[in-house]
Amino acid sequence: MIFLDSSVWIAATLSERGASAEIIEQIISKELKAISSPDVFEEVTRNLNEKYPLKVQRFLDLFASVHAVLVIPDKKTILKATELINVFDALILAAAMKSKCEFLITLDRKHFLLPSIGANSGIKIVPPGDFLKNYLR
């Protein structure tokens, strides 16, 4: 199971090509199982409404089509995540940690793609292209 960060959802919504869109297609074809969180859903919806309002419906359609398992992290997991990453992103990391997913897929190099976060969270955190190239068989 893979956890998709907001950045992946936005990239797949804005472009039907690219690694993010390919991952969504793999999920739709049932080759992968997606995990997300209400916080991710809200963040994507808010950002698209602000910057790309005409794309909101496409996101809603994609999100519905993948049948993602939504995970709400508990306070203990959120506190652990805040030790690893900034408070805003901690909610997303905590949901991924709570889900016990193997991978968190993200394009957020500044906050998530740091070796210490992956090592201390127990999750492989990778960009979409690396996931497709190195882990999807």
Average pLDDT over residues 45-74: 96
Per mean pLDDT, which range of 7-11, 27-31, 38-42, 63-67 is the poorest? 27-31
Contact 9, 44 (CB under 8 A): yes
Instruction: Identify the bridge partners of residue 125 per DSSP, sorted by sequence position.
Output: 104
| Residue-level pLDDT at 137 | 63
- DSSP string for 56-103: HHHHHHHHHHHTPEE----HHHHHHHHTTS-HHHHHHHHHHHHHT-SE
Does residue 43 register a pLDDT over 80?
Answer: yes
Please report the pLDDT score of residue 20 as a whole number. 96
Distance CA(120)–CA(62), nearest Å, equals 31
Among residues of the chain, what percentage have pLDDT more than 90? 77
Q: How far apart are CA 48 and CA 85, in angstroms?
A: 24
What is d(CA 137, CA 31) in angstroms, rounded to the nearest whole number?
10
pLDDT tens-digit profile of 76-114?
999 999 998 888 899 999 999 999 999 999 998 777 777
The lowest-confidence range among 13-22, 92-101, 113-122 is 113-122
Set out the domains of the chain in order of their start, with CATH numbers: 2-132 (3.40.50.1010)
